[in-house]
Structure 1
Amino acid sequence: MTTDHLVLALAAPDKAEREVAEDALAQLGPAALPALMEHVRDAASPVGPEALLAVLRRSGAPVFQPVLDTLLGAAPGRATWRALRVFTGLGAAALADYTDALTHEDPAVRRAAVLAIRECGADGLAVAEHVLPLLGDPDAEVRSTAVRSLSTWGTAVVPLLQAVRHAGPGAARAGALEALAEIGGEDVLSARDMAALERLVRIKLPEDLPSPVVCCFLSWIAVSTGDQSGVMDLLGLSAPHPVPFAAGVLAADLDSHAGLDENPLDQYRRVFVTPELAGWTLVVGSWCDPSSAEREAEVLEACVRLSARYGQAQAYSHSAQHDGSAVLVSEQGTVVRRFAYIPGEDTRHLELGAPLPYEQRRRTALALPSLAAGHLLTEEDEDEWEWELLELAPGLSAELSLDPRSIDASTLARGTGVLALTEYGRRLSSPPGALRL
């Protein structure tokens, strides 16, 4: 069997055949490298990067330079991704080479070296100081990758970053500030650094414009008023910090992933309160989710109070991954409608009130019978109506108030958005997370 046939066998359906091919290629060592590199370059190869890496890690051959050469010569598109994955996956054995590559003339190699060191985890932490200069790299993507990578090491690199803030190099100071904010927020930032962040915000605010509110897990409350301070007061929000619109959206997106970690309450510590947008104020963050097990009663009560003062208040949640959608509509202090569709074993419809005209029109458009209160999915309409329910929040909000995803620079805006702490934030402390300005 030729070397190329052995490489192709790494993609064989039979596990035993794959293992035999991997063993044979590993024993070939340097002799197998040309064939392996051909498959790293070939976007159409059926052999995945992980299978190629399994051989490269075992071969005992000097693989770093061939892989680097392949990365530098890869064609655009998927081939580049394959080469990048193999380059960054060589592991701790290649740490010295990765460290040398941090100063490579090609920014794509510098960025890949940072990613590779990050993938080495605790082993990579040992060379983290060599990544620090790239916080001031002339290439924006390299700088951003350095910030994110250092942030993943958490508090272990805080002293290194604080030293950069104090003594330079000067070009790396801004990146060090962003990484510190990402790791620990106010808890690891000096008063001087907090002031620097606030100055940067003030510089950017005069030219700030609204942008689409897009999050993986998007929850928000819409209130028919421009009284931002009144809305915050009624909701018990505190410590507002003015932020550019896009930075507020990003903070809400980052926070929405916090509930996937050890403490599910972390996602509720902070919200983004928008400026007035076409007559509405939006409060954005997981804290606003009307279907959250921890928050559903409080969100309902908050919307009742808001609508009693301002006429209309609505709460929504929507998953970009089609994990569910929920709506709550209140008017003049009364809940008009609440409905949630969360597919899976823990489905909870939380239904209150009669179906809204919007729901009935969508049923008509799909040639489905009208809804009655308490109607759940039936076999006849399950598939079509299920997909409609997954988009219920953005669809209904577009009719009754604002679909946050459709907000853009043309949306009439007045005032400045703020990040504010909820009761969870006051109790658990302000969340980490950089304002990526």
Structure 2
Amino acid sequence: MLDVLCDEQSPVEWTVSADVLCRIGEPALLPLAHAAATADSSEVARRVAWALGRLKVDDPGAYEPLLNHAHPLVRSDALFAFQTRGEAAARFIDRLIPLLGDPVPEVGQRAVWAFQAIGTAAVPHLQRVRRLTAPGPRVRAGALEALAAIAGPDGLDSRDQDAWRRLTRIKLLAEIPDGMHLCGSWYAVPATDQDAVLAAFDLGSPQPVTLRTGAAAWNHDHHSWDRAHPHAACSRVFISPALDGWMLVFGDSSQDTHRVEDADDRDEALSLVVRQRCTDLSRRFGSAQWYGMSCGDDWTAWCIAEAGEIVRHYDAYDAAENGDGELAHPAEAGYLLPHQDGFPDDAFDGVSPADSESFAVRYRQVKEDLQIPDTCYANDIAARLSVDPGALGPHVRTSGQGVLALTACGREHGHPAGALPV
């Protein structure tokens, strides 16, 4: 069965042999470990890892000897087996702790995930490690990451929280803005008064953070699928420092998020929430903008308000409301809108989309010959009207400091779990 699993040319689907090995259970453990250590391709290593971590073994202690294996892939696979046991692996905590400092970063990360799966039962053990010097700096750093992964900032004791605040203050002194990964939505208001922005969004308990921390929190929370903590995506918001005179607000407020979740038509409800929020903000600050982008598809959107009136709302997935595609705001001038196709029907005749190189050559040629404009996205409109957070750099004038602030849900449930970089 193992030979079939490792044979990439075998006519037998690999999942069949993997399933048989999983059913064999503990007798297959050491042969699979040897196969993982000697795998001659990433595909074989992936197959073996899948089977090794899912063996039908009653006692996860059978994997314990593999934690000392010389090959990092075997150690990682063993950790995955403990990770899949969740709370049932709690009795192995002391044995798993040294792996937090594994010299191979991927193994150390897998150890963090194993502790995250164990959950709150691991917190006092990890806090004890943080107070000891014997485990070494790598283990202690891994314990800190695991604590944050399990309970967020609330899992850190007062000394670690004070150390985090000191490091943040040090980093803020010399921070240079860097472009953010854009996935989700954000508001932009022309303001430098952070307290006024906090009040406008009903936010509290602001904690100073670097742009790096704030951006990581936004991306972490937006991509959260933690069903055990249903408020992970709506508990906190990142407010940037003033960037060229604009404050950017990243994240979902409790009120807006729950109004949308409770609605029968989510897309329509989101549009109404955005419009109302931009209207209210523009009355307060003179103007306001909302932008949305996705890293998983081509969705993009924006809403622009001036003096209490919506002057433009565009959503690439609701192009029917955009008439025949006429540019409705000066910031869109010179661009195609995302739902528009500027290429003639026969532009790619004879070229297979599967041939990416030929397709790209034809695309560039037709675009240049016909002078087809570039397509604009939310960040392009933001660059013209306020600030493009994806293009931050030393050229951006910065004042004040960013903060992570809690929404109504955050004030009730606390910060979401997860380690964030400083």
| Shared fold (TM-score, shorter chain, > 0.5) | yes
The one-character-per-residue Cα deviations of 1:159-180 (angstroms, maximum 9, x if unpaired) are 3222323446343233222222
Match of 1:356 in 2: 329
Are the aligned partners of 1:266 and 1:431 in contact in 2 as well (CA < 8 Å)? yes
Distance, in Å, in 1 between the alignment partners of 2:415 and 2:117 is: 19
Task: Find the counterpart in structure 2 of residue 103 from structure 1.
Answer: 68
Q: Secondary structure at the match of 2:312?
A: strand
* Distance across 1 between alignment mates of 2:146 and 2:178: 24
Aligned-partner SS, 2:237: strand
1:194 corresponds in structure 2 to 161
How far did 1:436 drift?
3.1
The match for 1:406 is: 391
TM-score by length of 1: 0.72
1:55 is aligned to 20
Counterpart residue type for residue 77 of structure 2:
A
- Report how far residue 271 of structure 1 moved: 0.9
What's the counterpart of residue 305 of structure 2? 330
Counterpart in the other structure of 1:159: 124
Does residue 145 of the first structure (1) align with residue 110 of the second (2)? Answer: yes
Instruction: Find the counterpart in structure 1 of residue 293 from structure 2.
Output: 318
Distance of aligned partners of 1:55 and 1:251 in 2 relative to their CA distance in 1, 3 Å threshold: same
Sort the Cα spacing of 1:348 and 1:428 in 2 relative to 1 into closer, same or farther, 3 A.
Answer: farther
Contact map agreement 2:19 2:51 (CA 8 A) in 1: no
State how far apart, in whole Å, the 2-side matches of 1:243 and 1:178 are.
17
The residue number in structure 1 matching 2:34 is 69
State the alpha-carbon separation in 1 of the partners of residues 392 and 250 from structure 2: 13
Distance of 2:40 and 2:386 partners within structure 1 = 47
Gaps of 5+ in 1: 1-31, 369-389
Q: Give per-residue Cα distances to partners, 1:127-169, cap 9 Å, x unaligned.
A: 2332112222333333232223211322232232223234463
**Structure 1 segment 7-406 matched on structure 2, within 5 A:** 32-33=1-2, 35-39=3-7, 42=8, 49-59=14-24, 62-93=27-58, 95-167=60-132, 169-171=135-137, 172-214=139-181, 217-258=183-224, 261=227, 264-287=230-253, 293=260, 296=270, 299-322=274-297, 324-340=299-315, 355-357=328-330, 358=332, 361-362=335-336, 366-367=341-342, 392-406=377-391
* Counterparts of 1:47 and 1:125, CA distance in 2: 38
The alpha-carbon deviation at position 412 of structure 1 amounts to 4.7
Is the 2:25–2:57 contact (alpha carbons within 8 Å) kept by the matching residues of 1? no
8 A contact 2:304–2:311 mirrored in 1: yes
Contact 1:329 1:336 (8 Å CA) reproduced:
yes
Which fold has the larger relative contact order, with Cα–Cα distance below 8 Å and residues 6 or more apart in sequence?
2
For 1:322, the aligned partner's letter is D
Which runs of 5 or more residues in structure 2 are unaligned? 262-268, 344-374
For residues 45 and 406 of structure 1, the distance between their equivalents in structure 2, rounded to whole angstroms, comes to: 49
Determine if contact 1:226/1:281 at 8 Å carries over to the other structure. Answer: yes
Structural RMSD (CA)? 3.9
